[in-house]
Chain A
């Protein structure tokens, strides 16, 4: 089955700790994205990558970092510099020139205690 997987589904961390969220896809998509979703806020773009070894900041990149060493993987690190990290994090992927192919993973709910 082709798709996007995110792990873990729920993640708890203490304040001040860095944490890395996993996103893997086997759709052979070149483009990958990270969004953050808060209640009543919709989805906001954190980072995106159109190709391996290249990525760009989205609207709310502060306190986050990413890497894109493999086509299939786009991990997101939430650093201690992120002021309010508790949120639902969604990864997506697409064919770069085909917006209608942007599909989402199941999400990771991060709670910082």
Chain B
């Protein structure tokens, strides 16, 4: 079983919709959780970072971590066509370690 599982999609939503992206993981030692956004043929850019459980909000983006269920989510409100990209979850057991990535979910927001 891969340590980090993420549905590759593609996920297609109309502009303005609320998007929910999710990852599950098997390693209970993971404490640091990140979401990256990657546009086609570009490097990933860090969107959200969360330590341990709880919620974190930044503008239209909310990251949620449920360590008891080994489940993390990224919510995008009022989705825009410019949000169309691949979203990668990543996690690690300790700060400074290399990251374990999900395969990425491809999101398409249609006007």
Which size class do A's interface residues fall under?
20 to 34
With A42-B101, A103-B46, A105-B43 in contact, do A96 and B96 touch (Cβ < 8 Å)? yes
A104 within 8 A of B: yes
With A99-B34, A99-B92 in contact, do A40 and B103 touch (Cβ < 8 Å)? yes
Q: Which chain B positions have C-beta within 8 A of A40?
A: 8, 103
B residues 7-59 touching A (CB-CB < 8 Å): 8, 32, 34, 36, 41-46, 49
By beta carbon, the residue of chain A nearest B31 is A99
Q: Which chain A positions have C-beta within 8 A of B41?
A: 88, 107, 109
Q: Least Cβ distance of A83 to chain B in Å?
A: 21
Query: A97 contacts B96, CB within 8 Å?
Result: yes
Query: B98 contacts A42, CB within 8 Å?
Result: no
Query: B101 contacts A94, CB within 8 Å?
Result: no
Q: Which of B45, B49, B88, B92 contacts A43 (CB 8 A)?
A: B88
Q: Which of A31, A35, A100 contacts B32 (CB 8 A)?
A: A100
With A42-B88, A42-B104 in contact, do A100 and B96 touch (Cβ < 8 Å)? no
Q: Least Cβ distance of B88 to chain A in Å?
A: 7
Query: A107 contacts B43, CB within 8 Å?
Result: yes
A58 within 8 A of B: yes
Q: How does the 8 Å CB contact mask read for B83-99 relative to A, with 1 for contact and 0 for none?
A: 00000101010111111
Q: Least Cβ distance of A23 to chain B in Å?
A: 11
Query: A99 contacts B88, CB within 8 Å?
Result: no
Docked Cα-Cα span, A105 to B6, in Å, equals: 23
Q: Which residues of B contact A (CB under 8 A)?
A: 4, 6, 8, 32, 34, 36, 41-46, 49, 88, 90, 92, 94-99, 101-104
Q: Which residues of A contact B (CB under 8 A)?
A: 4, 6, 31, 33, 35, 40-45, 48, 50, 58, 88, 90, 94-100, 102-107, 109
17 contacts between A and B (CB under 8 A): A6-B43, A40-B103, A42-B6, A43-B44, A43-B101, A58-B98, A98-B95, A99-B34, A99-B49, A99-B99, A100-B49, A102-B34, A103-B45, A103-B46, A104-B36, A107-B41, A107-B43
